[in-house]
Amino acid sequence: MSNSASELVVAVPREADPEEKRVALVPAMVPALTKGGLKVRLETNAGMAAGFPDQLYLDKGAEIDSDRAELLKHADIVLQVRALGANDGVETDDVSLLHDGQVLIASCDPLTFPDSVAPVAERGVTAFSLELVPRITRAQSMDILSSMATVAGYRAVLLAATAAPRMFPLMMTAAGTLKPARVLVIGAGVAGLQAIATAKRLGAVVYGYDIRPAVREQVESLGGKFVELELEAGQSETQGGYAKQMDEDFYRRQREAMKKVIADCDVVITTAAIPGRKAPILVTTEMVEAMAPGSVVVDLAAERGGNCEVTSPGETIDHNGVAVLGPCNMPSDVPVHASEMFSKNAVTFLQLMVKDGKLNIDTEDEIIRDTLLTRKKIIVNGRVRELLNMEPLEPPVSSAAESEDNGEPASTATDESADENVAAGDSAAS
């Protein structure tokens, strides 16, 4: 903990993954924390890859520390873009630098890598995973999945336009009329809707498909044409208005009906990601082979295994003349705005727990309760406990909110498992 009992220290280390360009806190958000009685420290060059040099942070009242171990040692709260499971495959000793009583706020991908949660629990860290922020109106300003999906949807269209051997808009030139590209976006979640809007702005003829008939109006409001397949979707929506994961028979019938639609398109963008699970196959090899040479598929679910059967994460595959792109961590390719959005989400979440410079973790608040992974050396998140085959926790004896005094966590319990949604394009810290 910090040396000053009256001032909590928020630390922002440089991201462990050298390919990650985002930063968890941008200079413009520093005053929001310092005015709330917090001290902000960053590791040297933490924001450089995102276009935010150290001097910008210093100008806003933050401090810079060149020693990562010392930075984390004296931190009360650690803000990161990626931590724990979200850094899978990246060599890092960050967990060993954390200690009892600290609070970690980051994208942690606990539903995909639940085993990564145990080490921070053992060290007494109170960890929050921002991907688990519930999708309720009050939490919209903290929803990193929606923010990062917005960036991914935009970026996907630019990748497709660059890879395609044709231009997107209708053009009437002295050399003749050029037909507009036909773009199909599968999944009308946040990423899908942004992709539809961006492709339309570039002049393409845009089609949108989703298993939820209710999103038709949203697709059409952006200038897209809603694709209707003769399928009985049944209960295709959760109470929050997001697509549910369907059974394999439904996906099989969906693929059969989709084949003809895809064959007529120049570009297909897929966006269906299921938190903690492999993405459903929506575009088969047979469908790709039905597309004309020069066509493009951009698979936004590549990190989750891909919606396209041909997809190879992080690579571009040429399959019979069709380019199949499997981009990973697309928000990192637009680090300035992606960092600004992530930072706003993270700071808003932190402000929910900081009152008058003191940390108050109120587990009666569903936003705090649903994102909480570990506390008092216990894994408290019900969904993670289920994945680890652990018994549900007993409900707390007292429902009163408890403060964090001298780093000692208050009691909590959560054993409610939310619906596993197909949050289109909204996978983790992607």
Among residues 146, 147, 194, 295, the one annotated as catalytic is 146
Among residues 242, 266, 426, 430, the one annotated as catalytic is 242
What whole-number distance in Å separates Cα of residue 133 and Cα of residue 423?
A: 13
Among residues 82, 135, 255, 385, the one annotated as catalytic is 135
Q: Provide the β-strand partners of residue 316.
A: 325
Task: Write the DSSP string, 278-329.
Answer: PPP--B-HHHHHHSPTT-EEEETTGGGT-SBTT--TT-EEEETTEEEE----
Nearest to 222 by CA among 244, 243, 264, 191: 191
245 tagged catalytic: no
Greatest distance between any 2 Cα atoms in the chain: 78
| Burial class, 112, CB count within 10 angstroms (exposed 0-12 / middle 13-18 / buried 19+) | buried
59 tagged catalytic: no
Among residues 109, 143, 210, 426, the one annotated as catalytic is 143
143 tagged catalytic: yes
The encoded tokens of residue 137 equal 């109106």
What whole-number distance in Å separates Cα of residue 42 and Cα of residue 52?
A: 12
Among residues 4, 55, 140, 403, the one annotated as catalytic is 140
Q: In degrees, to the nearest 5, what angle opens at C-alpha 65 toward C-alphas 62 and 68?
A: 130
242 tagged catalytic: yes
417 tagged catalytic: no
What whole-number distance in Å separates Cα of residue 188 and Cα of residue 369?
A: 28
Give per-residue burial for 77-98: e unless 16+ CB within 10 Å, then b. bbbbbbbbbbbeeeeeebbebb
CB 186 within 8 A of CB 420: no
Residues acting as catalytic residues? 135, 140, 143, 146, 242
